[in-house]
A and B are shown apart, each in its own frame.
Chain A
């Protein structure tokens, strides 16, 4: 059974810092990995999708990497801003059994002005 772990569970940084969020998964037979942002009481916003054949994806100040063989992904946020404060979730979809996403528990990020 696939298990996804995110470290740290919570992170507080001053504005302007570069930071890294970590995601690990136990079964490397994945189809893709997706990073999401969730604001309190809201739905999920897709940030980046990495296919299993890719090593990284970039969008603005965000860069996500994938090392499928070691079961790890990182989300790098450059020059953090208070508006980046949210919970960040990673999720993987399996090669088999269709498209169901398995999520980690998230990293709660606070960027202090």
Chain B
């Protein structure tokens, strides 16, 4: 597609459940990023992939969060044992190479009840 896409656009889950969020980057972009944005705040970095490998995962808040990019294109952010504090907008971005201009997707709004 022309831009970064993310699915689902909205996800409502119950505390303790497992969720997966998907990101399709712009075709040909080797770098992919995940950010989390709470209401009224700027996005915060979670993880950065260059190709298939996680080049920087220092922003992941704890070991309940994990992300993969097995074929160097689509990425999945996985959250285990969700907590109410995980409720936020999860944003994905891609760039041709890192560090260059980043292009963001529409985000996934996660709500943990």
In angstroms, Cα B59 to Cα A45, docked, is 22
Partner of B31, one of A43, A49, A97, A99: A99
Q: Name the residue of chain A whose CB is nearest to the CB of B55.
A: A98
CB distance from B9 to the nearest CB of A (A): 10
- The answer to whether B91 touches A99, judged by C-beta atoms less than 8 angstroms apart, is no
Dominant SS at the A interface? strand
Which 10 A-B residue pairings sit nearest by Cβ, starting from the closest? A103-B42, A99-B99, A99-B98, A44-B104, A43-B106, A100-B45, A49-B101, A93-B99, A43-B104, A43-B107
- The answer to whether A4 touches B102, judged by C-beta atoms less than 8 angstroms apart, is no
Chain A interface residues (CB < 8 Å from chain B):
4, 31-32, 34, 36, 41-46, 49, 89, 91, 93, 97-106
CB distance from A5 to the nearest CB of B (A): 10
**CB-defined contacts of B89 to chain A, threshold 8 Å:** 41
Residue of B41, B42, B43, B100 with most partner-chain A CB within 10 A: B42
Given the known interface contacts A91-B42, A103-B44, A105-B42, the answer about A98 and B98 at a Cβ–Cβ threshold of 8 Å is: yes
1/0 contact string of B1-15 vs chain A (CB within 8 Å): 000101000000000
- The answer to whether A104 touches B104, judged by C-beta atoms less than 8 angstroms apart, is no
- The answer to whether A44 touches B45, judged by C-beta atoms less than 8 angstroms apart, is no
Partner of B102, one of A42, A97, A101: A101
B76 within 8 Å of A (CB atoms): no
**CB-defined contacts of B101 to chain A, threshold 8 Å:** 32, 34, 46, 49
B103 within 8 Å of A (CB atoms): yes
Q: Which of B57-104 touch A at CB < 8 Å?
A: 59, 89, 91, 93, 95, 98-104
- The answer to whether A103 touches B109, judged by C-beta atoms less than 8 angstroms apart, is no
B20 within 8 Å of A (CB atoms): no
- What are 16 residue pairs bridging A and B, where the CB atoms are less than 8 Å apart in the complex? A32-B99, A32-B100, A32-B101, A36-B104, A43-B4, A44-B43, A44-B104, A46-B104, A97-B56, A98-B56, A99-B31, A99-B48, A100-B33, A101-B35, A103-B43, A105-B41
